[in-house]
Chains A and B, each alone.
Chain A
């Protein structure tokens, strides 16, 4: 229904500006704050109606923290989160409640995200009763509709979570998220706990729902295959910052940031005969408690120059709709291979 309108003219559902989330590090008997974990350190992005923005990055880069902070399950340290034009970043919990209807979350673990003591029907009806959206027969009808919508039999409402398989449980989680007709769904690694065959089914369900309901997705994943399948736009995160963001085809076709290049090179290809030039990173991700100065990536970047060690590169639009935070990628190009410095 929204498919006919070009992406750039659609309504903005989520706009995040300069989002930061720092966790204090306590130590000693008096729990003095001795430092900060810079989990998310200035992240900005926009998601429009019917659009999927994928956040990718290795574990510990802060992508799940972004998801939870956007949902206000964690309190942001700084920055604004606008959902349908309203900044929810410092609303009180009671005022926030009304806005929770517009954004819902699907969790990674389909086991611990469903209360084992409640029936499937009770789990899905909770958001509806919270906002007094339906009672009695209308509630039962809505639940049956939601179950069908996500590919579960309506009779399954009487069952308990342990009677479902992993994929079915994730469908339940999606039904719960859909119950209040949100405009944004934050999906925090929704398929990474599932079998590969089930992953595809759940991903296709998410894509179908998006086409029918015009949902916006913030999709967090570390699996590039999944991201390429579902993402319209991709944002690559490294150590709390977005280092590159571009359209799906652009990012996978011409990755400009050295980290993106390395990330794509690390993804396995299902064809053993293909030989390719691989950029393999040395060392580990630096500690987010003491992130390196300048570009966070310079400690592992094979192309790093002196400037990278002192000056933080801003996220700049180097090509149309292709944003990169790298000193070696000036606006307008050239975008050829970089030369190694180590």
Chain B
């Protein structure tokens, strides 16, 4: 009995190992992201105050005391980068969630009710024509700069992509005989959507959400760099790079480390997204 369960657990371990070997991109992406998320969560214990001024320690090179150096106010770049991960991940995850939820709702309605479709899709085409950076600048000019506004501004242009994806899946599925069979056997429209149509959108949605997350992180950094994003008192990677730009010839470390972190984060998310796409649904690779 014991031998049997041992054999079973070895078999399970082998299977797990096989899965990892077949999907290296998902595993690598997820590991990096997990590490980043952990850093962001435990930031108060592993980093100093990211806003703490120390004029005596201005523009220090990376050293044992300041691993990533200090900026022109003597703030620890390492602490600022660690805290910046919180902003980037929060923006990425929020935008992915908002865009996916809104896009899913609108997409299903458009795909199923063709009358709604004609009107809403034209609005979506219009939304897609607005550059996200421009929309964010406009919104932030109109309202007080805050992280919430940045998240909303980045989410809006992301929604039409999700709508198009969901709509195409719904259109494809709704013509299938099993939907007709459900109608014929008296299934209510609401049940048809939740039971027969929505599950088909899940795999492409997860993949689209990872891409939305990565592009949101980049857009947030871009906006902050331009000074139209996260308020400057919050240490986001874009803000750190923006402030460091003036000094980059004498203190390149100020922009180097947040830049590298940004690249690694986006790379990790995209690796995971690509891997998920290949595993969940190889066919959607062609659709996207």
A residues apposed to B, CB below 8 Å = 68, 71, 73, 97, 100-101, 103-105, 107-109, 112-115, 117-118, 126-127, 130-131, 173, 176-177, 179-180
Q: Which 4 A-B pairs have the closest CB atoms?
A: A127-B185, A113-B177, A130-B186, A100-B186
Partner of B186, one of A73, A107, A115, A180: A180
Q: Could you list 22 examples of A-B contacts with CB < 8 Å?
A: A73-B183, A73-B184, A104-B185, A105-B181, A108-B177, A109-B177, A112-B176, A112-B178, A113-B176, A113-B181, A114-B178, A115-B178, A115-B195, A115-B196, A117-B200, A126-B187, A130-B186, A130-B187, A130-B188, A130-B191, A173-B181, A177-B185
Partner of A104, one of B177, B184, B191, B195: B184
- Shortest CB–CB separation between residue B51 and chain A, in angstroms? 51
Supplied contacts A100-B186, A112-B177, 7 more A-B pairs, CB within 8 Å: A68-B180, A73-B180, A104-B185, A107-B177, A107-B181, A130-B186, A131-B186
Q: Given the known A-B contacts A115-B196, A117-B199, are A107 and B180 also in contact in the complex, defined by CB atoms under 8 Å?
A: yes
A114 cross-chain contacts in B, Cβ below 8 A:
178, 181
A177 cross-chain contacts in B, Cβ below 8 A:
185
Assign chain B's interface to a size class: 10 to 19
- Nearest opposing residue in chain B for A98, CB measure: B186
- As a 0/1 sequence over residues 209 to 221 of chain B, the CB contacts with chain A under 8 angstroms (1 = contact) are 0000000000000
B200 cross-chain contacts in A, Cβ below 8 A:
117
Tell whether B182 is near chain A: CB-to-CB under 8 Å: yes
Q: Given the known A-B contacts A115-B196, A117-B199, are A130 and B185 also in contact in the complex, defined by CB atoms under 8 Å?
A: yes
Q: Given the known A-B contacts A115-B196, A117-B199, are A105 and B180 also in contact in the complex, defined by CB atoms under 8 Å?
A: yes
- Are B185 and A100 in contact (CB-based, < 8 A)? yes
- Shortest CB–CB separation between residue A256 and chain B, in angstroms? 35
Q: Given the known A-B contacts A115-B196, A117-B199, are A126 and B185 also in contact in the complex, defined by CB atoms under 8 Å?
A: yes
- Are A105 and B199 in contact (CB-based, < 8 A)? no
B180 cross-chain contacts in A, Cβ below 8 A:
68, 73, 105, 107, 113
A109 cross-chain contacts in B, Cβ below 8 A:
177
Interface centre among B177, B188, B196 (most CB of A within 10 A): B177
B181 cross-chain contacts in A, Cβ below 8 A:
105, 107, 113-114, 173, 176
Interface centre among A109, A127, A179 (most CB of B within 10 A): A127
- Are A113 and B184 in contact (CB-based, < 8 A)? no
- Shortest CB–CB separation between residue B242 and chain A, in angstroms? 46
* Cα A127 to Cα B187 with chains together (Å): 7
* Cα A192 to Cα B71 with chains together (Å): 76
- Shortest CB–CB separation between residue B119 and chain A, in angstroms? 14
**8 Å CB interface, B59-78 against A:** none
| Majority SS at the chain B contact face | helix
* Cα A113 to Cα B180 with chains together (Å): 8
- Shortest CB–CB separation between residue A75 and chain B, in angstroms? 12
- Nearest opposing residue in chain A for B181, CB measure: A113
- Nearest opposing residue in chain B for A106, CB measure: B181
A118 cross-chain contacts in B, Cβ below 8 A:
195
- Are A126 and B184 in contact (CB-based, < 8 A)? no
* Cα A125 to Cα B185 with chains together (Å): 10
A173 cross-chain contacts in B, Cβ below 8 A:
181
**8 Å CB interface, B166-195 against A:** 176-178, 180-188, 191, 195
Interface centre among B176, B180, B181 (most CB of A within 10 A): B181
* Cα A339 to Cα B195 with chains together (Å): 60
- Are A101 and B177 in contact (CB-based, < 8 A)? no
- Nearest opposing residue in chain A for B179, CB measure: A115
* Cα A107 to Cα B177 with chains together (Å): 7
Q: Given the known A-B contacts A112-B177, A113-B177, are A100 and B182 also in contact in the complex, defined by CB atoms under 8 Å?
A: no
- Shortest CB–CB separation between residue B122 and chain A, in angstroms? 13
- Shortest CB–CB separation between residue A128 and chain B, in angstroms? 9
A71 cross-chain contacts in B, Cβ below 8 A:
184
* Cα A282 to Cα B26 with chains together (Å): 61
* Cα A115 to Cα B178 with chains together (Å): 6
Q: Given the known A-B contacts A107-B180, A113-B177, A113-B181, are A101 and B199 also in contact in the complex, defined by CB atoms under 8 Å?
A: no
- Nearest opposing residue in chain B for A124, CB measure: B185
* Cα A78 to Cα B92 with chains together (Å): 54
- Shortest CB–CB separation between residue A137 and chain B, in angstroms? 22
- Shortest CB–CB separation between residue A95 and chain B, in angstroms? 12
* Cα A117 to Cα B188 with chains together (Å): 18
A107 cross-chain contacts in B, Cβ below 8 A:
177, 180-181
- Are B183 and A126 in contact (CB-based, < 8 A)? no
* Cα A115 to Cα B200 with chains together (Å): 10
- Shortest CB–CB separation between residue A124 and chain B, in angstroms? 10
Partner of A179, one of B177, B178, B185: B185
- Are B177 and A180 in contact (CB-based, < 8 A)? no
* Cα A173 to Cα B181 with chains together (Å): 9
- Shortest CB–CB separation between residue A188 and chain B, in angstroms? 9
- Nearest opposing residue in chain B for A111, CB measure: B177
* Cα A117 to Cα B183 with chains together (Å): 17
* Cα A180 to Cα B176 with chains together (Å): 22
A126 cross-chain contacts in B, Cβ below 8 A:
182, 185, 187
* Cα A109 to Cα B191 with chains together (Å): 23
- Nearest opposing residue in chain B for A110, CB measure: B177
B183 cross-chain contacts in A, Cβ below 8 A:
73
- Nearest opposing residue in chain A for B200, CB measure: A117
* Cα A89 to Cα B178 with chains together (Å): 23
B186 cross-chain contacts in A, Cβ below 8 A:
97, 100-101, 127, 130-131, 180
**8 Å CB interface, B66-123 against A:** none
- Shortest CB–CB separation between residue A101 and chain B, in angstroms? 7
- Shortest CB–CB separation between residue A74 and chain B, in angstroms? 10
- Nearest opposing residue in chain A for B196, CB measure: A115
* Cα A96 to Cα B188 with chains together (Å): 11
- Shortest CB–CB separation between residue B56 and chain A, in angstroms? 65
